[in-house]
């Protein structure tokens, strides 16, 4: 049985061939002679995890505001759940105390439809139940029921989970951005969701330009989570355009096979659907990229009509400086995608075909030149300049030197 540890699938299992090479975890019986060392970091009755202290309060159910105030009096706040790993810990903690329904620190802002954690942490992880949040009038606060989130009235009295952040770990200041009335501020960028009026990829990009934006580019799990959260919140059932495509004005056919963000930012993050991108490298049938409602990406015909998402970044909290790295330097952090790229049979065969084709052309040109030279002995004859290319298959991205990008 194979387990996952990536952000989107952590904790899930999948059958696989026993000969597949994977990392592994060993287990041994605990030595009962070794005493259990209690944590001295957290107060009594609190449980420590990764710089946080947690405690469920079951015997005094309170409404959301009172529960958050109670946690504040104990030098904490209602719990924030900002990663799937923290969610997994809280899930296990709830099972330990046999508690299935309780308040968490998430609620809708009084001035917008955006959700915020009571301690000011960015809202970057979601675990909504199906058809949630419903965002009905008066349902501004969020509870966890059987580890799924639901928005409900803040006046309901429930058990709650308090969280303390260990000293010397200050909270980041909330990000402040100024977006137009039609755009939504998320983690330091402005997003405009145009899903009712569908367009082709190029027309969608032109519409974004009218808002002084571009089609959305995604460079991290945090930004990806924003897209998934919006899909869940609005119950979308159709895919939509993002800013990734192979449409770039390039004369070199080798570089034409790569994908690029329309806002010219680095292609440093991907979440392809299984066996995608599926179009052959030199084909122009599926040059643009759509995002499915499950968050995965697919290459598709740019002429298809879809909704789209525009984005404008460069605000406080978003790094826009282009990094320059030594060409020879590489790291292991960004090699996973390259390995999957190389291990894709379609990619390998396509690159092999391109290389063989170029070699055949060179051989043909050389043969013709040799034939002409052998037939002509005129002193005015000038040898043809040899055809060739220099560094045509090198493409540098971030900390890696790629042969090419898909």
Q: Is residue 192 part of a domain?
A: yes
- Examine the domain organization and report whether 223 and 264 are in the same domain: yes
Q: What confidence score (pLDDT) does residue 291 get?
A: 92
Name the β-bridge partners of 106. 117
- Examine the domain organization and report whether 304 and 212 are in the same domain: yes
- Examine the domain organization and report whether 119 and 202 are in the same domain: no
Q: Last residue of a domain, which of 107, 137, 165?
A: 165
Q: Is residue 22 part of a domain?
A: no
Q: What confidence score (pLDDT) does residue 28 get?
A: 84
Q: Is residue 20 part of a domain?
A: no
Which CATH number belongs to the domain containing residue 48 in this structure? 3.10.100.10
- Examine the domain organization and report whether 222 and 338 are in the same domain: no
- Examine the domain organization and report whether 346 and 380 are in the same domain: yes
Domain region containing 378: 325-406
- Examine the domain organization and report whether 251 and 307 are in the same domain: yes
- Examine the domain organization and report whether 288 and 365 are in the same domain: no
Q: Is residue 8 part of a domain?
A: no
Name the β-bridge partners of 397. 400
Q: Last residue of a domain, which of 245, 277, 312?
A: 312
Q: Is residue 213 part of a domain?
A: yes
pTM: 0.45
- Examine the domain organization and report whether 305 and 341 are in the same domain: no
Query: Within a 13 Å sphere around the CA of 291, how many CA atoms are in the beta-carbon half?
Result: 26
- Examine the domain organization and report whether 351 and 271 are in the same domain: no
Q: Is residue 200 part of a domain?
A: yes
Q: How many structural domains comprise the chain?
A: 3
CA dihedral 353, 358, 359, 365 (to 10 degrees): 150
Q: How is residue 306 written in tokens?
A: 């879809």
- Examine the domain organization and report whether 80 and 161 are in the same domain: yes
- Examine the domain organization and report whether 138 and 211 are in the same domain: no
- Examine the domain organization and report whether 71 and 159 are in the same domain: yes
Q: Is residue 56 part of a domain?
A: yes
Per-residue three-class SS string for the chain: CEECCCCCCCCCEECCCCCCCCCCCCCCCCCCCCCCCCCCCCCCCCEEECCEEEEEEEEEEECHHHHHHHHHHCCCEECCCCCHHHHHHHHHHHHHCCCCEEEEEEEECCCCCCEEECCCCCCCCCCECCCCCCCCCCCCEEEEECCEEEEECCCCCEEEEEEEECCCCCCCCCCCCCCCCCCEEECCEEEEEEEEEEECHHHHHHHHHHCCCEECCCCCHHHHHHHHHHHHHHCCCCCEEEEEECCCCCCCHHHHCCCEECCCCCCCCCCECCCCCCCCCCCCCCCEEEECCCCCEEEECCCCCEEEEEEECCCCCCCCCCCCCCCCCCCCCCHHHHHHHHHCHHHHHHHHHHHHHHHHHHHHHHHHHHHHHHHCCCCCCCCCCCCCCCCCCCEEECCEEECCCC
Give 229-279 pLDDT, tens digit per residue.
777 666 677 899 999 998 665 445 555 567 889 988 888 888 888 888 887
Give 101-147 pLDDT, tens digit per residue.
999 999 987 766 678 888 877 676 788 898 888 888 889 999 999 99
Q: Are 90 and 149 in contact (CB under 8 A)?
A: no
Q: Is residue 366 part of a domain?
A: yes
List the chain residues with pLDDT less than 70.
1-12, 36-40, 111-113, 122, 124, 167-177, 181, 186-188, 222, 232-235, 247-257, 280-283, 313-358, 363-406
Q: Who contacts 234 (Cβ-Cβ below 8 Å, separation ≥6)?
A: 193, 195
Q: Last residue of a domain, which of 165, 194, 215?
A: 165
């Amino acid at each position: 049985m194979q387990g996952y540890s990536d952000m989107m699938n952590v904790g899930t299992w999948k059958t696989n061939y026993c000969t597949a090479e994977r990392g592994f975890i060993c287990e041994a019986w605990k030595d009962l002679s070794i005493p259990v060392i209690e944590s001295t970091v957290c107060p009594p009755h609190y449980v420590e995890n990764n710089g946080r202290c947690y405690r469920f309060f079951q015997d005094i159910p309170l409404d959301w505001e009172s529960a958050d105030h109670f946690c504040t009096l104990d030098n904490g706040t209602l719990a924030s759940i900002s990663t799937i790993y923290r969610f997994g810990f809280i899930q296990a903690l709830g099972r330990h105390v046999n508690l299935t329904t309780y308040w968490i620190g998430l609620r809708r802002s009084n001035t917008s439809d955006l959700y915020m954690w009571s301690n000011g942490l960015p809202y970057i992880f979601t675990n909504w139940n199906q058809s949630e949040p419903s965002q009905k009038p008066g349902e501004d606060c969020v509870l966890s029921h059987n580890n799924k989130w639901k928005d409900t009235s803040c006046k309901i009295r429930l058990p709650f989970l308090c969280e303390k952040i260990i000293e010397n770990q200050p909270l980041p200041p909330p990000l402040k951005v100024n977006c137009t009335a039609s755009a939504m501020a998320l983690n330091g960028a402005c997003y405009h969701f145009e899903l009712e009026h569908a367009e082709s990829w190029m027309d969608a990009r032109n519409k974004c330009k009218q808002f002084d934006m571009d089609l959305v580019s995604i460079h991290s799990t945090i930004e990806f989570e924003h897209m998934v959260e919006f899909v869940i919140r609005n119950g979308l059932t159709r895919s939509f355009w993002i800013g990734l495509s192979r449409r770039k004005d390039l004369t070199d056919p080798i570089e034409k096979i790569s994908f690029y963000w329309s806002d010219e930012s680095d292609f440093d993050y991907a979440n392809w659907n299984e066996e995608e991108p599926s179009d052959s490298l030199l084909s122009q049938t599926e040059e643009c990229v759509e995002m499915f409602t499950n968050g995965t990406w697919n290459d598709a015909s740019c002429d298809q009509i879809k909704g789209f998402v525009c984005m404008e970044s460069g605000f406080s909290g978003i790094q826009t400086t282009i990094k320059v790295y030594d060409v020879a330097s590489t790291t292991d952090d960004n090699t996973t995608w390259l390995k999957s790229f190389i291990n894709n049979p379609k990619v390998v065969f396509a690159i092999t075909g391109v290389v063989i084709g170029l070699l055949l052309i060179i051989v043909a040109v050389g043969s013709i030149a040799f034939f002409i030279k052998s037939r002509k002995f005129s002193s005015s004859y000038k040898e043809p300049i040899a055809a060739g290319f220099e560094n045509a298959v090198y493409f540098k991205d971030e900390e890696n030197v790629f042969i090419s990008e898909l």
